[in-house]
A = this chain, B = another copy of it.
Amino acid sequence: MRPQTLSVIGFGAFGRLAARHLRPHLPLSVCDPAARSNDLPMVDAARAARADIVVLAVPLPHLEGVLRAIAPHLRAGAVVIDVASVKVEPARLMLDLLPDHVEIVASHPLFGPASAAGGLEGHGIAWSPLRGRAHRLLAAFLRARGLQVIPTTPDQHDRDMAVVQGLTHLIARSLSRLGPLPQRLATPSFTLLAAAAAMVQDDSPELLATILRANPHAAAVRQRFLAEAAGVAAEV
């Protein structure tokens, strides 16, 4: 199988980033009723569904609706890939709602417009092939772009991300609510901490909700972290 066409459904911050990196390699169309592209063909969901590779870059709350809209139009042997920041729920939805004749990969690119501003080289993508074999070809393509393709299961992914993204976003949000951070006096460790917070500061509310709410392990990790922090504070 050699894919000839590609579509990106959802033209938000990540959809744009994906389109920018994918368009040199395959004819690409974009589907997003609420956004537009200056120089890429915009198509409706039915048309986008007829590509060989369909990348789903919509906010998680829209995923089920998009899957239902594209399901009747997907071609045999097509590959559907999502890029949501959680994997258990998208994996379940894709396996439930997509026809048996399409292949499925649940993925999570561990970077975004801010962190990958300098290029993809060295960034990671969590990778859970759910159905079919085309994932090998796609993983090889992504590796050739400099990405580290990291195999995982949706559940393991969500467990790790409950810490990785759940706590980073919790800490970043909490810091930003404290008001302006000290600038003149800073230690190297605080400078790293502030840089970590700044990197996720512009993430959309939808992404934040996905990371903090749609991850089945996030609440428990958050409560443990807050309990440990309260313990440290109390011991002092």
Which residues from chain A sit less than 8 Å from chain B, CB to CB?
Answer: 110-111, 115, 123-124, 126, 150, 152, 157, 160-161, 163-165, 167-168, 170-175, 177-178, 181-182, 184-190, 192-193, 195-197, 199-200, 209, 212-213, 218-219, 221-226, 228-233, 236
Contact = CB atoms under 8 A, between A and B. Distances in A.
B190 A165 contact: yes
B189 A163 contact: no
A112 to B, nearest CB: 8
A170 B233 contact: yes
A178 B111 contact: no
Count identical subunits in the complex. 2
Contact of A111 (B187, B195, B199): B187
B189 A199 contact: yes
B175 A193 contact: no
Given A111-B188, A189-B199, A236-B209, A171 B229 contact: yes
Contacts of A110: 185-188
A164 B185 contact: yes
Most buried by B among A164, A221, A222, A225: A164
B184 A150 contact: yes
Q: Which 3 A-B pairs have the closest CB atoms?
A: A192-B196, A160-B182, A115-B188
Contacts of A184: 150, 152, 160
A181 B163 contact: yes
B189 A168 contact: yes
A108 to B, nearest CB: 8
A213 B236 CA distance: 6
Given A111-B188, A161-B185, A236-B212, A177 B226 contact: no
A174 B235 CA distance: 12
Contacts of A233: 170, 212, 219, 222-223, 226
A190 to B, nearest CB: 4
